[in-house]
A and B are shown apart, each in its own frame.
Chain A
Amino acid sequence: MTDATIAAVHDREAAAASRRHFFSRTIIYALLTIFAVIYLAPLLILVFNSFREQPEIAQNGLIAFPRSFQLKAWAEAWSTYCIGGTCEGMRRNFLNSLWMAVPATMLSTLLGAMNGYVLSKWRFKGSEVLFTLMLLGVFMPGQIALMPWAFLLGKVGLTNSTYGLILIHVVQGISFTTLFCRNYYVSIPDDLIKAARIDGAGFWRIFRRIILPLSPPILIVTVIWQFTGIWNEYLFGVVFTSGREQPITAALVALTASGTNVRAYDVMSAAVLIGALPPLLVYFLGGKYFVRGLTQGAIK
């Protein structure tokens, strides 16, 4: 009898709690949905417009539900659309970006790993000062370096060339890659290095056989960070290259500026999406490693 009473009271309280819970959850998810829509809307509009026909866009406006379907815009954006006098589409610029971002990412990551290795495991007099100075690069806006780069690229004859951009991105990226790798390597116990030194391994063998095999989590982080940053970079691309040599971000601007007649919103949308695909792809493939790599130490 008593038991039943107690149970009933508890049931009532439990029911109230579960109602409150349901109510608050509903509000939370409603808010989340609203913000998700706000964030996704631009992407959604782009995707829609890249498949809509130009006359329909002109008629119903840029922001509208698609009533027509075509794949032509993508093909045109990729290979035939005219930008600034040449009619080769985005393909060349896309390849420029790829040819710039892949080597620059690899080189800056490798250099960052080596810097991090030295600054964490082979400290020397002044290495902390050096590291602090390198960190300044993280906070330095790119435009500060515009003039010096212009001077330097001119001197070595790398203006209007993808190689020039590779050089810029490698140097500009070293601060970040060094920071990532150094902070990760600090958590590798020094005893490992000592043991390896007694075992007869030198600087490079320790790097290759002990440090690098422990590095994938942080290398994935660095590669994603660098690739996305370099691919999306715009300032250096637009300043130091022109026409056929431009990376895709710079070419997109030329595309919007080259409107002689009617603006081809369908092609532009497709072109923008082409330009956004690689970083998105990298994110979808490696995103989960990104968070994991940033939060996890070297030795579990």
Chain B
Amino acid sequence: MNPLQTIKIAVRALRRNKMRSFLTMLGIIIGVSAVIAMVAIGEGAKSQVVDTFASMGTNLLIILPGATTSGGARGGFGSMPTLTWDDLKAIQNEVSAIRYAVPDLRSAEQIIGEDQNWTTSIHGTSPDFFIIRNWTISKGELFTKSDMDAGNKVVVMGQTVAEKLFGSSADPVGQTVRIKKVLFQVIGLLEKKGQSTMGQDYDDTVFLPYTTFRSKIQGGLQNYLNGIILASATTSQDTKKAEKQITNLLRERHHIQLGTDDDFSIRNLTEMAGAMEAGTKTLTTLLACIAAVSLLVGGIGIMNIMLVSVTERTREIGLRMAVGARPTNILAQFLVESLTLSTAGGIIGVSLGVFVAYWLANKFSWPLLVRPEIIVLAVGFSALVGIGFGLYPAYKASRLDPIEALRYE
């Protein structure tokens, strides 16, 4: 008997007991939809974490200067400039695992436009900064290396600053602004970046070449870099290596003895992201385990109903055997029946799971992440459950003695 024929017989048998078939499938439906929804939730949470860190920068390392200690009061990282401009050059030139390294000098200043003013965070940096932070220009252009070398008085601003100074619809490019009584020309408007996880508005910033920043905004300290260094590792796997290389380089350059603390600190954002990702992964695994247990319970339900069905249809089995069904035909018939039950349940479960995942994604404004391999896995696993739990009842049916079966009341 060909497989299609067997499937037809199975579907017909299941349709004869619609309510029972549906209730049996329900276990699988709940199990599979739970798997799909849980994994989607986990993936959504994970991608949110990844996105958050990606928006901060690619393979980002933040190098902070050291702490002051005056009269026993320790000032915390960044309170004393220990990083020099030569350190930056050394990092750029000598650390193999680093692709870009840029200074990030900051100062909170009032910026004055035509008829409005706004106090914001002014950053002095180099063009590579925008590559590290995956930040592109929306209007106008970024300042260039020649702007830096010449110390041109140009700024690039975030959307919030532009809105506060010029209104939401106006084009700030070409306008003139004043910072600390110095006139600057606005040459670019950045893309909207949004907020950090802490609620800090990334778009509430103004950028200018660090050379200009040093000469016009923040004087003094010729050798020391009065800010932080942002570095981007060549690949995400290399962040750890880069961190180590920078540590060794800076310790050597700062003549720090063995056993003495660093006078700087490095934050490895990829590592932090990895740790948070691992956390969400554990959660996903846990949820998936619960879902797998419900699938197992669904499988037991199928086995139960198949055993009832075999007993109920003993005479039918006897008759089929009498008219020429081989034991393997009977085995296949009942196996396909349980397989159909579980696979149909799996497919309905997937649809329901995707629907629930979609709803949750909307509710928590996560990206909708239902990976196709999870769907294949869920349907495949439910099919496996059908075969696994259908095997015993089907075997039992195929072993029936036709004479006994025909006589069964």
The answer to whether A and B interact is: no
Q: Could you list which residues of chain A lie within 8 angstroms of chain B, going by C-beta atoms?
A: none
